[in-house]
Structure 1
Amino acid sequence: MTSGADPTATLTRGGEWWAGVRALAPMLLGVAPFGLIYGVLAVNAGMPAWLACAMSAIVFGGASQMILTQLWAAGTPAVLIAVTVAMVNLRHALYSATMAPALAHLPGRWKALISYLLTDEAFAAMTRRLSDDDEHKRYRHWFFFGAGFALWASWQVSTLAGVLVGAQIPRDWPLDFFLPLTFIAIIVPGIKRRSHAAAALAATALAVACYGMPHKLGLMVAALGGIAAGMLLLGKDRRQRKPAATEPAA
């Protein structure tokens, strides 16, 4: 047992679960309003209340649910909605690849549970535990469970609240104005490199230029263009750094 004031404080299933909940608690201040806005917009877009809540339980992805709501309101075919949502959620494949080594020893039911609960915020909290010592690794999956569950519960409750509130709000209120503001608040803090800025600017320009495309296809064009621009600049950055890295020291 490691030394410390209370080394066994979190080395239990319940202790690790609560540690995960506490790790997510500060992020819930931003998650709850996001879920509330989604619930209101979904109802005002004509989506049945039960379906809006079911989306939060099944899709469980704020960005993809917001886009799904817009596509639903525009009468987009179901196939295009599914493809667009899949593209938006493609980043979760990268999250899963990062988490896979830490979950390799777990039974299938644990892998399924944690993969379902894996979101942007939960991933940020979970990765902090990937380098734990051997003693903490024993119940680390309970930490992952607690972090994911805290976010899941907050999202379901805030969505339900938004659905209940949305039913009382006139549909001609321009609440969809909050959608781009929400995404701006999510994206801007994450722009830290030139490749990030290139992706954001290219996607923005294409989204505006392709706004008139049917079935909101401009969103897919903007997403693909942003990815291409970011990858192009990322490749240039790597090529510029490579000679400097291989240059012999004086």
Structure 2
Amino acid sequence: MLTETQIANGRSAIKTALWQGIKAEIPITIGVIPFGMIYGVLGLSAGLTPPQAQAMSSIVFAGSAQFLGAQLIGVGTPLPILWLTTFIVNLRHVLYSTALGPDIQHLSRKWRWLLAYLLTDEAYAATAVHYGNRQIPLAHKHYFWLGAGFTLWGVWQVSTAVGILLGTQVPPEWGLDFTLALTFIGIVVPTLKDRPNTMAALTAGLVAVLTFNWPYKLGLMVATLTGIAVGVWLENRKRSISADFAD
């Protein structure tokens, strides 16, 4: 049986980990707020009702998928194509879960499902660093993840609501669809730091332009897969060349 001191120490460790996760995520949320607001406006311009737009942020909780999903809904895309396209966009989460999964196998299924729901790009960025510190005991690390994830979740819900409120005041004839392109440009450009990433982005952009008139925005899916294929091929080629020089 645990003593009162052990129980108190455990509660203190939980509170510390939770607060550390919140503090680590707060600076990141500053950059998330504008995207949440833009999504709220775009959701309405795509034909979603305010409750539907807000529900997408609560249920889907994935910015890039929400932006793309809203656009596809706006053009009447069939559900199977909508699901497949957003699934491909979110495949990166498989890599995130692969990286962090081994460290949460000791948790219950309910905990793993909750943490999986909260695993976004921004939450992963903070949580991966925390889990990478092997000097910190594993027992309460998931509370850091919980704090980081819920902090981002709360900010995303509020910023979406503000965007929806603003969107109801914007005349439809203003046409705010251009903000979608600006948003993704802002996300992609800072990541273009090497040849594989740059060529993947350029290839995907070129294919997207060439397939612009394809029905149901299928060109976006083809562009995404082509960009991924080019990026992976160039990354493997770079590693192969590096290995040859090392030999």
The match for 2:80 is 79
Alpha-carbon distance in structure 2 between the residues aligned to 1:111 and 1:123:
14
Higher helix fraction: Structure 1 or Structure 2? 2
Give the 4+ runs in structure 1 shifted more than 2 A.
Answer: 131-138
- SS of the aligned residue for 1:218 comes to helix
Q: TM-score, normalised by structure 2?
A: 0.92
Q: Report % sequence identity.
A: 45
- Given that residues 11 and 136 in structure 1 are in contact (C-alpha distance below 8 angstroms), is that contact kept between their aligned partners in structure 2? no
1:161-185 deviation digits (Å, cap 9, x = unpaired): 1112111111121311111111111
RMSD: 1.5
Q: TM-score, normalised by structure 1?
A: 0.91
AA in 2 matched with 1:144 = W
What are the within-5 Å matches in structure 2 for residues 158-237 of structure 1? 158-237=159-238
- Given that residues 18 and 146 in structure 1 are in contact (C-alpha distance below 8 angstroms), is that contact kept between their aligned partners in structure 2? yes
Alpha-carbon distance in structure 2 between the residues aligned to 1:180 and 1:122:
24
What are the within-5 Å matches in structure 2 for residues 19-38 of structure 1? 19-38=20-39
The match for 2:53 is 52
- Given that residues 39 and 161 in structure 1 are in contact (C-alpha distance below 8 angstroms), is that contact kept between their aligned partners in structure 2? yes
Alpha-carbon distance in structure 1 between the residues aligned to 2:118 and 2:35:
17
* Number of equivalences: 238
Gaps of 5+ in 2: 1-8
AA in 2 matched with 1:117 = L
Of 146-155 and 226-235, more deviation after overlay is shown by 226-235
Alignment pair present for 1:152 and 2:153: yes
The match for 2:245 is 244
AA in 2 matched with 1:15 = T
The match for 1:100 is 101
AA in 1 matched with 2:13 = T
Do the aligned partners of residues 135 and 215 (structure 1) sit closer, same or farther apart at CA in structure 2, a change above 3 Å counting?
closer
Alpha-carbon distance in structure 2 between the residues aligned to 1:185 and 1:150:
22
Alpha-carbon distance in structure 2 between the residues aligned to 1:135 and 1:219:
43
AA in 2 matched with 1:58 = I
Of 163-172 and 10-19, more deviation after overlay is shown by 10-19
Alpha-carbon distance in structure 1 between the residues aligned to 2:12 and 2:105:
20
Gaps of 5+ in 1: 1-7
- SS of the aligned residue for 2:169 comes to coil
Alpha-carbon distance in structure 1 between the residues aligned to 2:120 and 2:132:
19
Alpha-carbon distance in structure 1 between the residues aligned to 2:136 and 2:69:
43
The match for 1:5 is none
- Given that residues 36 and 159 in structure 1 are in contact (C-alpha distance below 8 angstroms), is that contact kept between their aligned partners in structure 2? yes
